[in-house]
Amino acid sequence: MRSWFRPRIQLDGFWKFKVDREGIGEKEKWFEGFVSSDLIYVPSSWNEQNPEWDQYTGIAWYQKDIYIDTNLRNKIAWIVFKGAGYRTKVWVNSISVGEHEGSFTEFKFRIDKVSYGDFNRIVVKIDNTPSIDALPPAREVNVTAFDFFHYGGIHRPVYLEFTDSCYIDDMTVYTKADGMLKTSIDTVCDRVFDLRIELLDKEMKKVVLEEYIRNVKPGRYVYEKKVNGVKPWNPEEPNLYILVVEIVIDGVLRDSIYERIGFRDIEIKNGRIYLNEKPVFLKGFGRHEDFPVTGKYLPGAVLIRDFYLMKKIGANSFRTSHYPYSDEHLDLADEFGFMVILEPSTCYSGIGRILSRDEIVKLFSRDDYIAKAKKFVEEMVKQHKNRPSVIMYSVTNEPPSDIPEVAEFIKKLVQFVKELDPSRPVTFASHRSVADLALGYVDVISLNYYRGWYSEWGDIDKGIEVMLKELEEIHRRFPDKPIIITEFGADAITGLHSDPPQMWSEEYQAEMLKKYIETLTKKNYIVGLHIWNFADFRTPQNPGRTILNRKGVFTRDRQPKLSALIMKDLFNKIPTHMQQ
Ligand code: ADA
């Protein structure tokens, strides 16, 4: 939910900063204010802002004093974080206002003690100490169950927002390409009020629909309408509309929020993914939010470049590997017509490196652990559910799903997300192939393959041969389920060339991607290909990584490797709309 009406005070910029290696800050009441000559920039991770903090995991403190004007006195004050962590505790004027777990979803706390017409002290404690039951899990900064760097900090924007005592707390929007609009509006108020609902074109020049509903009771209000003449959202024409919802009392506007929506529908049938009744092919990437110095924060300008590079290559899709991306990131997906598979931070690629089989069984069977995973999924869905670009949910990446207890965990997550949002198909990214016990629980089968790299290395053809055998077997078992290859790729060190193509060279990467794409597009049960990865990104230190995972088609600073040129030809030849 967004608002042009609610007053906001942006808190981005320089903050006072203090690393707390001994974890003494709370005992020593640093939440009342602390002494430090260190500064840090928000939004960005702390790691690359000072080499001293590069490998630091643990507790760190942020402090900012902000002036709040008296004209906001009659409002409710909220502090809103778009993404910080892993664990965040917040104090305002020395009073705790809340805490949150997870780095990649929005959270907000109500501030009851505000000093109007004065400076207010905001103190934030961030703790990214690695832990087994964190999502994702790790033992140490370089001993993790995930292959991306374990940054810490206030990675995304943070601001103060002020609402009236009568406000809209949440809105869920369902649409169909034929103009069906259904929205459930959750409000908080101490009396009945009027609701104004308006649908505008994207430029907000044309009023497509306007309705004034009197005497609405606080709580949930469901509004349903067939809107004539709207243009559907699709990759070629990502038509967006602005849905405005307002609370009016005695003719006075008390709250106003809006969502950018698209009229589209998704359906899985005949082994295909249908967007607005047409079967689509997803061609694109697994990505990461990773950039030099800013860490887990992708500045707007980098995002813009990424989308133009993806469009240039002919991509139309990406997965939010392996955590929900920022609002800015997904705003561009809505705007540029990218089809997104939205994934939470339930990533388990290397879990076998940090836990024994017994420990894995115990962890995935714990009720509190399943409850936590559900909470992460719930926050992700709440934040991004109204986006036309989000066409599917992935509930986890590379879980050890050949273990029955883990398959049961996945089953529960799939059921949960379907209850939360029955309008979208569900998948998860598997690397267990024919040994996977959970493929039956999903609508779409997503498989990660590295045959020709981690196995059959140096022999791409052999790798593809083995992969095809497995795919045929999986297709035989689940003939009605479409299959996406959500990861395939090879590391390439920029500037390393080899004839004949050898591993780590740009030529080997290009050849592997080319052969995979040419082979898999011949299989009519394959409905999507996501290259691992769009760009090189930082990883934990380990013998198989040279500071970066170098499977990017682009370098970390967004320059093309040889494979980017090859991909451009290949992807642009694959039509977005498949044969029926
Ligand atoms: C896995 C994992 C990715 C990345 C990739 C690789 O499939 O999901 O995060 O680690 O392998 O490069 O090995």
580 pLDDT more than 80: no
pLDDT tens for 214-241 read 999 999 999 999 999 999 999 999 999 9
Nearest protein CA to atom 4 of ligand 1, as residue: 147
pLDDT tens for 84-107 read 999 999 999 999 999 999 999 999
Is residue 398 lining ligand 1, measured as CB closer than 6 Å? Answer: yes
The one catalytic residue among 398, 506, 507, 511: 398
431 pLDDT more than 80: yes
Hunting for tokens 């020049």 — which residue is that? 205
Among the atoms of ligand 1, which is closest to the Cα of residue 489?
Answer: 12
CA distance between the termini of the chain? 36
Residue 51: DSSP 8-state: G
Active-site residue, 328 included: no
Q: How confident is the model at residue 578 (pLDDT cuts 50, 70, 90)?
A: confident
Three-class SS of 241-271: EEEEEEEEECCEEEEEEEEEECECCEEEECC
Active-site residue, 405 included: no
Nearest protein CA to atom 1 of ligand 1, as residue: 349
Q: How confident is the model at residue 579 (pLDDT cuts 50, 70, 90)?
A: confident
User: In Å, how far are 93, 296, 385, 449 from 545, measured between CA atoms?
Assistant: 45, 19, 35, 18
Spacing, Cα 520 to ligand 1 middle (Å): 20
pLDDT tens for 496-518 read 999 999 999 999 999 999 999 99
Spatial distance between the Cα atoms of 461 and 440, rounded to a whole number of angstroms: 29
pLDDT for res 237: 98
473 pLDDT more than 80: yes
Q: Mean pLDDT over all residues of the chain?
A: 98
Is residue 397 lining ligand 1, measured as CB closer than 6 Å? Answer: yes
Show the tokens assigned to 452. 């020709």
pLDDT tens for 331-378 read 999 999 999 999 999 999 999 999 999 999 999 999 999 999 999 999
Query: Strand locations in 165-238, DSSP E?
Result: 167-175, 180-188, 193-201, 207-216, 219-226
Coil, helix or strand for 446?
strand
pLDDT for res 200: 98
pLDDT for res 294: 98
Spacing, Cα 394 to ligand 1 middle (Å): 15
The answer to whether 132 touches 355, Cβ cutoff 8 Å, is: yes
The one catalytic residue among 259, 487, 506, 507: 487
Q: Which helix (H) or strand (E) holds 395?
A: strand 390-397
Among the atoms of ligand 1, which is closest to the Cα of residue 397?
Answer: 8
Is residue 144 lining ligand 1, measured as CB closer than 6 Å? Answer: no
Spatial distance between the Cα atoms of 201 and 181, rounded to a whole number of angstroms: 15
Spacing, Cα 246 to ligand 1 middle (Å): 45
Longest dimension (CA), the chain: 77
Residue 238: DSSP 8-state: B
Nearest protein CA to atom 3 of ligand 1, as residue: 147
Question: Which residues, in sequence order, are bridge partners of residue 448?
Answer: 487
Residue 6: DSSP 8-state: S
Show the tokens assigned to 294. 């800013």
Spacing, Cα 321 to ligand 1 middle (Å): 10
**Per-residue pLDDT averaged across 235-255, rounded?**
98
- Whether the ω angle into residue 7 lies within 30 degrees of 0, i.e. cis, is no
pLDDT for res 216: 98
Is residue 475 lining ligand 1, measured as CB closer than 6 Å? Answer: no
Show the tokens assigned to 156. 């995304």
Calculate what percentage of the chain has a pLDDT beyond 70: 100
pLDDT for res 274: 98
CB proximity list for 126: less than 8 A, separation 6 or greater: 59, 60, 61, 62, 84, 85, 86, 87, 88, 152, 153, 154
Is residue 349 lining ligand 1, measured as CB closer than 6 Å? Answer: yes
Spatial distance between the Cα atoms of 42 and 504, rounded to a whole number of angstroms: 36
**Per-residue pLDDT averaged across 394-422, rounded?**
98
